[in-house]
Chains A and B, each alone.
Chain A
Amino acid sequence: MKSEPQTHWQPALMARIKSMLPIDWEIIRHMGAEPIPYHLKKWWFCLGGTILYLFIVQIATGIALTFYYVPTPQEAYASIVAITQEVRFGWYIRSLHKWSGNLMIVAVMLHMLRVFFTAAYRHPRQLNWCVGFLLLGTTMTFGFTGYSLVYEQLSFWGATVATNLAEAVPLIGPWIAFFLRGGPEVGENTLTRFFVLHIGVLPTVAFILVAIHIFLVRLHGVTELNFDGETVPEGKRHFQFWPDHATTEILIGVLLMYLLTILALVFPAGLGEPANVNETPLHIKPEWYFYFNFRLLKLTSLKLSVVLTMAIGAIAFFWPFIEEWFMRRWRVSDRLPVTLGVLAFLLFLMLTVWEAFA
């Protein structure tokens, strides 16, 4: 039997596609072959990937939610009720969005703690610490604006208190508050503005910051860490990003999806009373990541708490430069930054737990 003559359309088609997409695949292969230090085989050293994964879950579930959410004071709460009770798998998507947001904040904090306590922010990586800190701020603003969109009693009064807090920022406070509220007081414009910030402005800012963050990581490479008593087999000091590390991240992603699903099943996103502009509930509380700030507000005056928060934020943001200056001037021990870091974290934890059980 005579075999069919071989057609040559496939190589021709490939050549045509390649001519339309003149990509140098060698460069792409080189980019994927980023050498990753051995210690990144441990999950807690590569929490950055977890954050990115959770961010992708946030985007996917967030886009899904916007198909049903109505950003007006009259309809917002009712649309959330509809998403939770009527839309197919609405409760699941909403719970995934809520829990991935919360876990993202936890992961960002843990990632920053890891970077701090391994001194990975030091020269030449100072700028990436600053970008990371901005990402923490963006993530928390995501949480605040997102929670306000629910338009239940606690979230409404949380937004009211927060915009009034913003007013206490020296010099530019009244301007920020006016801008956020879209007028002199919390009203119809406020919800629209929070919605636009949450689904448009903040994702854009986050995308840009994440791109810069990853670009800087690639420029400097990952910090090499050596541990006492750990012997790494020769020739295994590094492994490749693609496919080794990428596969690990995808596997961790599946585990995260399981975790998020369990959380969504056991603790589904709830719903309080609808917002009532004429009745402040007896016990109002922000989301857990603002507990320390809320406790600080109770312990001090309004102006002082705002100034203190700004000062702590500024010190944390510029810490790599402040530490460098201190080290050069006073030649302090390496233990001092670690001690200060432990104290600062314990203070944050203490204020958070205090407010949680108050």
Chain B
Amino acid sequence: MSLVAMTAGLLLSYGLFAVQGLLFLIPRRLAPRTRRIFAGQIDQFEVGAIKSVLDLQGNEILIKRDAQELRAFNSTCPHLGCRVHWENDRKRFFCPCHNGAFDQNGVATEGPPAAAGQSLATLPLEVDSRSGVVYLEVKDSRKKLA
């Protein structure tokens, strides 16, 4: 009986140390905070063209202006995380890693992302009607571990 109790105690104690050590290594999953950043003046965005803006981590956000609206696309390919770029001649976003292509609305048309039915993620945008300032809502992960 005492042997069982001792074994259980040892396992529990060392197990607890191990769990604490493991938890230390895994970064905390904090609720994503966002922050509005200045993306430009509305007249800086040409219709049909792409303007690139950097978020707070230095990642590229691609903002596209159509006749009706402005849309901000995350340039991270949903397939394996490579960076997509805009090909103006073919009017598409292209990922060079595995030849993934996305149409003007960010919907995959070719390559592995199309096979998996993936699209480019979009980010919220806001245009101040009085000043014409375009605000982009991006992730704010500064001064945090993860």
Interface residues of A (CB under 8 A from B): 157, 160-161, 163-165, 175, 178-179, 182-187, 189, 277-284, 297-298, 301-302
Contacts and interface: CB of A to CB of B under 8 A. Distances in A.
* Residue in B54, B79, B115 whose Cβ sees the most chain A Cβ within 10 Å: B79
B57 A187 contact: yes
Interface in B36-92: 52, 54, 57-60, 75-77, 79-85
Measured as residues with beta carbon below 8 angstroms from the partner, the interface class of chain B is 20 to 34
Contacts of B82: 157, 160-161, 280, 284
B27 A182 contact: yes
B34 interface: no
A274 to B, nearest CB: 14
Given A161-B97, A284-B97, A277 B83 contact: yes
* Residue in B29, B52, B58, B146 whose Cβ sees the most chain A Cβ within 10 Å: B146
A301 B116 contact: yes
B80 A302 contact: yes
A278 B58 contact: yes
Contacts of A184: 29, 146
A298 B59 contact: no
A302 B27 contact: no
Nearest to A276: B83
* Residue in A178, A283, A302 whose Cβ sees the most chain B Cβ within 10 Å: A302
A255 B26 CA distance: 44
A283 B80 contact: no
A302 B83 contact: no
Given A178-B26, A278-B58, A301-B112, A189 B85 contact: no
A183 B96 contact: no
A109 B98 CA distance: 28
